[in-house]
Amino acid sequence: MARDSILKEIQTLDPQKDHERIVFLSTCYEFSFDTTRALELALFRTFCVPSISGLLDRTGEFGQRTQKRYDDTDILVSELLEWGYSSERGRRAIQRINRLHGRFSIANEDFLYVLSTFLFEPIRWNRRFGWRIMCEQERLGLF
C-alpha cells in the first residue's frame, strides 16, 4: 500500500463503526515502529503502580520469565491490533488474556489503568515522536 493512500483511506472512515480498520491501518502501516515503542512504554508504565508491580513481583512473571511475559503481551496485543477484537483471532486473544489474568485477584482499577496505557501512550508518543501527527480518526479509532 502506498503511504498516502493509507492516510486517505483512514480519513474516509468513521471512527465509531470502522475503528478496527483504522487501528489496523494506523498501527500496522502508518506507525508500526512508533506503536511498538509506545506499547513498550505503556507496559513499562504499569510497573509504576504498586499493586500491579507487586503482583508481577509475587508471580515472578517479570523477574523470572521476563522475555516470555513480554512476548506473550506482544503477541496478544498484536492479534487485537492486526485482526480486531471482533474477529475469531481477536476473540481468542481476549479469551487468552482473561484466562491468564483470571487466576489472580486483580482490582478492576488496575485492569482499567493497564488498558488505558495501551490507548493513551500511543497518542502521547505520536504527538512527540511520530513522523506525522495522528489524524482525528486515528486518535478516536483507538477508543
Query: For residues 119 and 143, is the Cβ–Cβ distance under 8 A?
Result: yes
Query: For residues 122 and 35, is the Cβ–Cβ distance under 8 A?
Result: yes
Amino acid 63: pLDDT? 82
pLDDT > 70 in the chain, percent: 99
CA pair distance 61, 129, nearest whole angstrom: 30
Q: DSSP code of 30?
A: I
Q: What is the pLDDT of residues 12-28, one digit of tens each?
A: 999 999 999 999 999 99
Q: Cell numbers 509475587 label which residue? A: 58
Q: What is the pLDDT of residues 67-109, one digit of tens each?
A: 888 899 899 999 999 999 999 999 999 999 999 999 999 999 9
Q: Cell numbers 515522536 label which residue? A: 129
Mean pLDDT calculated for residue range 115-124? 94
User: Where do the domains of the chain lie?
Assistant: 16-141
Query: For residues 94 and 85, is the Cβ–Cβ distance under 8 A?
Result: yes
